[in-house]
């Protein structure tokens, strides 16, 4: 926390009787692409708006670059924001929109114009400065909003679901572009999104939020491979869950009694859950499950549905004694529905979580 560039200390925000953000602590490093990820209503936008200065926290303190900013209005903070609606000023042209924040910068007119031209080149809209705001497409508005914020060279750029309004293809192109721009300018980005794929593909680190609380802060790989609770595991990607009871540890491999599907093995068990008799949840990603012909050792099941997606197939395998079918992502296999199969996985691939 000490090397944190943005420090969120014990921040709480209540609207009337509703707690939108509940005692959040987190540190964001200088130059980091940091995402706040969570379903709508989880408090991520409220947290971002508190960093920007549009909401005043009910409790706690926010520091940017070591300076407490909690009591500063938005215009005195070293941050700029890209709004979800882009908030392009409709009465100004593109160049005047981008130059809006430079009026108080003390720069000469020539320097300001140079900055605007530079920004237009960065967002690959050169020569569009005289264009009216209502003549821009959605993607162009998004870029202008980005340029308008970055042209002020803020210490922090705050982005509130900036890609939400774009269609899928444009969104994916903008994800790559945004990431490149962030690398080039080296400014700390705080990015709010509900799209887990977007967060995984762009971020250095992600904070997963739910009901106003931060569940886990980690890099994308750790978040995907080692979620720390069921909610995170469930929110990021697809996950199979098996309830079980710890039998004991054989070396570093745990033996788990999973009831109707027999005994399962897993490595990397949290110390708190190693005691025999502990209630645990074994989680396994669909692509970590290997599928064999019926008769081979493993969990026996029957393919109930199969979707061919080109690069891989998604299968649902029903197993006697389990309520939910097991999701399997297979690269080669194209088993038709009704086929009897046997499922196995490596002990390394399984994740052991506490059962709430």
Partner 1 sequence: MGAKRNYWLFGYAVLYLAFLYVPVLFLPLFSFNDSAFIAFPLAGFTTKWYGQMLADDAMHSALWNSLKVGAAVALISTALGLLAAKALTRYRLPGGAAVLGFTSLPLFIPDIVLGISLLILLNTVKMPLSLVSVMLGHVLICAPFAITVLMSRFDGFDKSLEEASLDLGENGWTTFWRVTFPLVLPGIISSLLLTFIVSFDEFLIAYFLAGTDATLPIYIWGQLRFPYKLPVVLALGAVILVVSCVLVVIAEWVRGLGQSGRRTVGV
Burial classification of residue 304, based on how many CB atoms lie within 10 Å of its CB (0-12 exposed, 13-18 middle, 19 or more buried): middle
What token pair was written down for 349? 């691939």
Which residues face 11 on adjacent strands?
A: 24
What token pair was written down for 314? 């998604």
* Closest to partner 1 by CB, 160 or 335: 160
Q: Tell me if 325 sits within 8 A of 244, measured CB to CB.
A: no
Q: Tell me if 62 sits within 8 A of 23, measured CB to CB.
A: no
* Closest to partner 1 by CB, 54 or 63: 54
Per 3-state DSSP, what percentage of the chain is helix, strand, and coil (rounded to 5)?
30, 35, 40
- Give the count of beta carbons closer than 10 Å to the beta carbon of residue 204: 17
* Closest to partner 1 by CB, 85 or 344: 85
Pairs from 312-318 (Cβ < 8 Å, separation ≥ 24)? 312/287, 314/286, 315/291, 317/291, 317/341, 317/343
Tell me how far, at minimum, the Cβ of 152 lies from partner 1, in Å: 7
For every residue of 304-349, DSSP letters joined together read EEEEE-SS-EEEEEE-TT-SSPEEEEESS--PPTT-EEEEE--GGG
Orientation of helix 138-150 relative to helix 168-185, angle to 10°:
20
* Closest to partner 1 by CB, 87 or 290: 87
Tell me how far, at minimum, the Cβ of 18 lies from partner 1, in Å: 14
* Closest to partner 1 by CB, 96 or 204: 96
Q: Is 178 helix (H, G, I), strand (E, B) or coil?
A: helix
* Closest to partner 1 by CB, 55 or 177: 55
Tell me how far, at minimum, the Cβ of 160 lies from partner 1, in Å: 9
Residues that bind partner 1 (CB under 8 A): 52-54, 73-75, 79-81, 83-87, 89-91, 100-101, 103-105, 132-134, 138, 141, 148-149, 152, 165
Tell me how far, at minimum, the Cβ of 133 lies from partner 1, in Å: 6
> How crowded is the C-beta side of 22, counted as CA atoms within 13 Å?
13
Quote the strand ranges of 46-150, DSSP E. 59-64, 67-68, 79-82
Tell me how far, at minimum, the Cβ of 130 lies from partner 1, in Å: 16
What token pair was written down for 159? 């982005």
Q: Tell me if 90 sits within 8 A of 134, measured CB to CB.
A: yes
* Closest to partner 1 by CB, 136 or 239: 136
* Closest to partner 1 by CB, 132 or 263: 132
Tell me how far, at minimum, the Cβ of 87 lies from partner 1, in Å: 4
Tell me how far, at minimum, the Cβ of 88 lies from partner 1, in Å: 8
* Closest to partner 1 by CB, 2 or 134: 134
Q: Tell me if 345 sits within 8 A of 289, measured CB to CB.
A: yes
* Closest to partner 1 by CB, 137 or 180: 137
Q: Is 30 helix (H, G, I), strand (E, B) or coil?
A: coil
């Amino acid at each position: 926390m000490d090397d944190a560039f943005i420090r969120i200390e014990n921040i709480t925000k209540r609207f009337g009787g509703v707690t939108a953000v509940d005692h959040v602590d987190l540190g964001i490093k200088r130059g980091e692409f940091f995402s706040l990820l969570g379903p709508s209503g989880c408090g991520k936008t409220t947290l971002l708006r508190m960093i920007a200065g549009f909401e005043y926290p009910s409790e706690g303190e926010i520091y940017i670059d070591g300076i407490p900013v909690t009591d500063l209005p938005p215009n005195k903070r070293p941050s700029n924001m890209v709004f979800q609606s882009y908030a392009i000023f409709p009465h100004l042209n593109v160049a005047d929109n981008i130059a809006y924040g430079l009026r108080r910068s003390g720069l000469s007119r020539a320097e300001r114009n140079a900055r605007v031209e530079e920004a237009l080149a960065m967002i690959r809209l050169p020569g569009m400065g005289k264009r009216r705001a209502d003549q821009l497409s959605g993607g162009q508005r998004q870029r202008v909003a980005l340029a308008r914020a970055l042209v002020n060279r803020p210490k922090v750029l705050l982005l509130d679901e900036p890609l939400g309004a774009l269609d899928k293809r444009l969104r994916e192109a903008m994800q790559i572009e945004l990431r490149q721009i962030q690398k080039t300018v080296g400014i700390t980005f705080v990015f709010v999104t509900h799209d887990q794929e977007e967060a995984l593909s762009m971020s250095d680190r992600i904070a997963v939020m739910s009901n106003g609380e931060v569940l886990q802060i980690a890099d994308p790989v750790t978040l995907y491979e080692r979620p720390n609770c069921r909610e995170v595991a469930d929110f990021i990607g697809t996950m199979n869950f098996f309830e079980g009871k710890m039998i004991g540890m054989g070396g570093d491999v745990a033996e788990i009694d999973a009831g109707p599907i027999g005994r399962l093995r897993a490595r990397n068990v949290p110390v708190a859950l190693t005691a025999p008799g502990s209630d645990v949840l074994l989680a396994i990603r669909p692509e970590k499950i290997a599928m064999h012909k019926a008769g081979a050792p493993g969990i026996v099941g029957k393919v109930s549905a199969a979707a061919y997606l080109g690069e891989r197939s998604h299968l649902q395998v029903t197993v006697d004694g389990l309520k939910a079918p097991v999701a399997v992502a297979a690269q080669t296999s194209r088993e038709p529905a009704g086929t009897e199969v046997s499922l196995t996985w490596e002990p390394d691939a399984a994740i052991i979580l506490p059962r709430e």
